[in-house]
Amino acid sequence: TSPFAWLRTRFYYLLIRLYFDHEFSIEEFTRGAKQAFSVVSKLLSQRKLDLLEELVSAEVLQVLKEKISLLPDSHRDALAADIDAIMYTAEGDVRIYYDDDGRKFVSILMCFWYLNGANLPDEVPGEAKVFQIVFGDENTKEKKHLLTANYEFQREFTEGAKPDWTITRIEHPRLLE
């Protein structure tokens, strides 16, 4: 991340704490986002989309229903991320905005890098290389792929709105396209 982007996101976190949620903590938010990512990715992998209704926006859920049905099993298996298999998490873009009705929103894009043992081919659609890591010795070799995912979390901060974060974008590059 560039120093300017880092400084900009920290400024937005300060604004969130000052004007929307005095107890907001990016560390706590990140912990919750990792848990949500793990749960949602596993449910996607298992095609249990009806269980996502409280976690994912209706628009995203409709798109997922179409895409999941077309995925090969290996790609669907690769969507699942155990919380212990998340190797790195980074905050992406942070936005604060108001809609035409004066409602207040905050959205935070989270980027996840995770290990998955799905049986993916060396080349995936788009001819992009997937990083592979081999664990163990020659007899107990286990191949894992280092995959990425981007999830955008949005919360409405208008007075009287539910204090829940909703996932408004799900991207698993090279898998869920």
Mean pLDDT of 130-147: 67
* CA–CA dist 152, 170 (Å, integer): 7
Q: Quick one: pLDDT at residue 53?
A: 92
pLDDT-derived band of residue 119, with 50, 70 and 90 as boundaries? confident
Q: Quick one: pLDDT at residue 140?
A: 59
- Compute CA distances 1 → 8, 25, 87, 120, whole Å: 11, 20, 17, 29
174 pLDDT higher than 90 = no
127 occurs within a structural domain:
no
pLDDT-derived band of residue 135, with 50, 70 and 90 as boundaries? low
Contacts (Cβ under 8 Å, ≥6 apart) of 11: none
66 occurs within a structural domain:
yes
140 occurs within a structural domain:
no
Structure tokens at 27: 């560390």
136 occurs within a structural domain:
no
**What domain count does the chain have?**
1
130 occurs within a structural domain:
no
Q: How far is CA 84 from the centre of its chain?
A: 15
Q: Quick one: pLDDT at residue 83?
A: 96
Q: Which domain holds residue 104?
A: 3-111+148-171
Q: Quick one: pLDDT at residue 127?
A: 36
125 occurs within a structural domain:
no
Q: Quick one: pLDDT at residue 128?
A: 42
pLDDT-derived band of residue 6, with 50, 70 and 90 as boundaries? confident
Structure tokens at 28: 């706590």
Q: Quick one: pLDDT at residue 126?
A: 39
How confident is the prediction for the chain on average, in pLDDT? Answer: 88
Q: Quick one: pLDDT at residue 145?
A: 85
132 occurs within a structural domain:
no
95 - beta bridge partners? 107
133 occurs within a structural domain:
no
Q: Quick one: pLDDT at residue 143?
A: 75
